[in-house]
Amino acid sequence: MRRIVDSITAICLVSCLMIVCLTPAAVAADTFRHIPSMDIYFSPRGGCTQAIIREIEDARSEILIQAYSFTSAPIARALVSAHRRGVRVVAIMDKSQQGREYTSATFLVHAGIPVYIDSVHAIAHNKIMIIDRKRVITGSFNFTKAAEEKNAENLQIIRSEEVADLYRKNFDHHLGHSEFYQR
């Protein structure tokens, strides 16, 4: 039953991406050659944080992050561990991360991970990770303890190079106007 629900959800997600996010040229170019494989999680206490950590641990070359709110110590530690084993990790965070005394942005910077602040928008509300140009983690799930333990949020892990490429282009767009964070 879960596979049927996952398949229906994947079809709906891809349809929404094509309708809402893609230009007519991208749709005409047959951007999606197949329906992506997906895992879907819900919080509170639905295993979202552990699923993210597993994906980070499986990363081999690159993790790109966009985060609005990022206070999850386990996720931050997993990113530092990936960085130490040679995975390129780059983060773009919302400007709200600047004013706080000590945040995950500061933690990542102190570990040698480049962090950028997207202050062009009222809120840089993205919550994504692009892993090895093949997997995308997205959804309403903020990378926080509250998201895992208290909030009603969702998380999708999408396995698709085509979808990862769309998110990568958006990441590069935001990186282009973001400022390097130094603390």
Catalytic, out of 6, 39, 132, 165: 132
Catalytic, out of 6, 39, 125, 145: 125
C-beta of residue 141 within 8 angstroms of C-beta of residue 155? yes
Catalytic, out of 83, 94, 118, 127: 127
| 3-state SS record for 42-61 | EECCCCHHHHHHHHHHHCCC
The reply to whether 132 belongs to the active site is yes
C-beta of residue 158 within 8 angstroms of C-beta of residue 21? no
What gap in Å lies between CA 26 and CA 141, rounded to an integer? 27
In terms of Cβ atoms closer than 10 Å to its own Cβ (0-12, 13-18, 19+), residue 115 is buried
Report strand pairing: 135-138 vs 127-131.
Answer: antiparallel
The reply to whether 125 belongs to the active site is yes
Residue with tokens 């892990």: 157
Cα–chain center distance at 23: 22
Give the closest residue to 113 by CA, choosing from 88, 95, 133, 94: 88
Task: Please identify every residue annotated as catalytic.
Answer: 125, 127, 132
